[in-house]
Homo-oligomer: A and B are copies of this chain.
Amino acid sequence: MSARLIDGKAIAADIRADLREQVQRLPVQPGLATVLVGTRPDSVTYVNMKHRACAEVGVRSVRVELPESVSEAELVGRVRELNTDPQVHGILVQLPLPPHIDEERVLAQVSLEKDVDGFHPVNIGRLAMKNRDPLFVPCTPLGCIELLRHSGTAIAGRQAVVLGRSNIVGLPVALLLLRENATVTVCHSRTRDIAAVVRQADILVAAIGKPEYVQADWLRPGVTVIDVGINQKPDASSARGYRLVGDVDFDACRRVAGQITPVPGGTGPMTIAMLLRNTVRAAQRQVQNG
């Protein structure tokens, strides 16, 4: 038996096509501003991907690029300018920021209405609380839920295990699964006998950043696996000298799982689709509220 693939690339393409239509029906062109501090190659790559995706669906995008040495005050000043810019509906501060800058203070400056990354402390606080609705939910976690939905995986009442508890993936994914009424377990580097915990899972979300870490014999047969990991694995046969693998040993695990996301082509494209969706919704909301 082989797991059904959850094709994030195809699902994300459908979402983008739908967004393109929504954008055409809007009285304004939605705008996304990215703020990049420094020149970390991975951050540059991610920002470039986001701008390309914006262009594809008709979202205007503007780049703010600041030197690694920028002061927190100057960065905050730029964010505030974007807050008042009527052509900008969403603001994304690319993380991580350099160590001399207080990440939370900067993220807290993004206007709640433009916080399309969902990292404003108030949006995170609302995500953690019952009966409170964040204006935006972080994109990678939201993409995981969307993949579960598209794959027809029931969430309510099922056991979900999340590997990882980072601010940008693990913890918000766990909070979202809880909101969807899963029974949720969060594992991390201090978890003992992780295999036994994973074996309880009807739904497994792996977000630990360890190449092919999750083994096939940890899985309950039929489990739905969402692999968030994006890791480089040395590969002499590739021109770049490496290939991308997830946190799950895909070839072995697909023989046990019921459904599984590939890497690449799983959660990665969904993250960007969710960013676009958040940006379009931000524009829709700002149009409605005048």
Contact = CB atoms under 8 A, between A and B. Distances in A.
Interface of A: 104, 108, 121-132, 156-159, 165-167, 171, 175, 178, 181, 183-188, 190-192, 197, 200
Contacts of A186: 178, 183-185
B183 A129 contact: no
Contacts of A175: 128
Contacts of A132: 104, 121, 167
Nearest to A165: B178
A240 to B, nearest CB: 31
Contact of A156 (B124, B185, B190): B190
16 contacts: A104-B126, A121-B126, A121-B132, A124-B128, A127-B128, A128-B175, A129-B167, A132-B167, A156-B190, A157-B190, A158-B192, A183-B185, A183-B187, A183-B191, A183-B192, A184-B185
Q: Which of A132, A171, A185, A200 has the most CB of B within 10 A?
A: A185
Contacts of A185: 183-186
